[in-house]
Amino acid sequence: MNDDAQKAQDELEVIAPAAAPEGAPESLDDVIAGLRGFGIEDFEEILSLTSKGKVLRIKIANVPTTDEMLSVQAADEFKGYLWIKRVKVELISRAISWIDGIDIRNLPNEKRFVPDPTDPNHAIRDVQVVMRNLIMTWGQELVESLWKVLMHHSQTIENRLRDEFPQNALMTEVEARLIERAKKQMDESFQVIRDEQVAALYDTTPETLAEEDPETK
């Protein structure tokens, strides 16, 4: 009986060999170090942009969470439509990962600083800041086209990742309540600001009369 079982097992090994045992796990330091920039992916194609006979080749990648937060923070002074446009420019300037063969994302710090052509004195600034300033001078049609490419690329990554998760990874009721609470707090804050602005516009309180000069009495 044991011989028959062994024979069956040997036949199974030939048909469907067992996976080789995994090697020794990496150290925790190696695992943590390998997580830096996880989830950041370049758009597959090089974008060739042509205008007035000049050709610019760039690559776009989705941005790290910190860059998204900094982009929103950098546009804090703007409101409404201007805020939207500024956030787009900030994000695009951070999403451009490669220009005409130069890998911007992996430049050492000492090579990231370049003269800013938009500054009268050509001040030396970080390449991302210079790209932001340059994009502000580009045609709005080009900026909107790059924005659509970036959004499509980001959506493609998100869709693929969602497909890799189980169905219960969708938004839960707990997450929905947290988002609703944050939205309510933002709405209340904006309402306070609007009320103060309206009150200031219609404030008819007379100014306090200046005290009489004692010498004129």
Q: What is the rounded CA–CA span in Å between residue 105 and residue 36?
A: 13
Q: Where are the beta strands (DSSP E) in 89-128?
A: 96-99, 102-103, 113-115, 124-126
Q: How many Cα atoms sit within 13 Å of 16 on the Cβ side?
A: 3
**Other beta carbons less than 10 A from residue 132's beta carbon:** 23
**Ranges 21-30, 46-55, 80-89, 109-118: which has the least confidence:** 21-30
Backbone φ and ψ of 175, nearest 5°: -65, -40
The reported pLDDT for the residue numbered 209 is 45
Each residue of 181-213: pLDDT tens digit? 888 887 877 777 777 777 777 766 555 444 455
Mean pLDDT over the full length of the chain: 83
Judged on CB neighbours under 10 Å (0-12, 13-18, 19+), 28 is: exposed
pLDDT above 90 coverage of the chain, percent: 48
Q: What is the rounded CA–CA span in Å between residue 134 and residue 12?
A: 64
Q: Which long-range contacts (CB under 8 A, 24 or more apart) does 129-137 make?
A: 129/93, 131/93, 131/96, 132/89, 132/90, 132/93, 135/89, 135/92, 135/93, 136/89
Q: How confident is the model at residue 168 (pLDDT cuts 50, 70, 90)?
A: low
The answer to whether residue 215 scores a pLDDT higher than 90 is no
**Ranges 29-33, 99-103, 178-182: which has the least confidence:** 178-182
The answer to whether residue 6 scores a pLDDT higher than 70 is no
| 10-18: average pLDDT | 58
**Ranges 10-19, 53-62, 172-181: which has the least confidence:** 10-19
pTM surpassing 0.75?
no
DSSP state of 36: T
82 vs 24: which has the higher pLDDT: 82
The answer to whether residue 71 scores a pLDDT higher than 80 is yes
Between CA 136 and CA 33, with CA 91 as vertex, the angle to 5 degrees is 140
70 touches 90 (CB < 8 A) = yes
The reported pLDDT for the residue numbered 210 is 47
The reported pLDDT for the residue numbered 15 is 58
Take residue 107 and report the two structure tokens written for it. 């430049």
Each residue of 108-129: pLDDT tens digit? 999 999 999 999 999 999 999 9
Q: In the chain, count of helices (H) and strands (E)?
A: 7, 6
Q: What is the rounded CA–CA span in Å between residue 174 and residue 152?
A: 29
Question: How far is residue 161 CA from its own chain's centroid?
Answer: 17
Take residue 105 and report the two structure tokens written for it. 């994302």
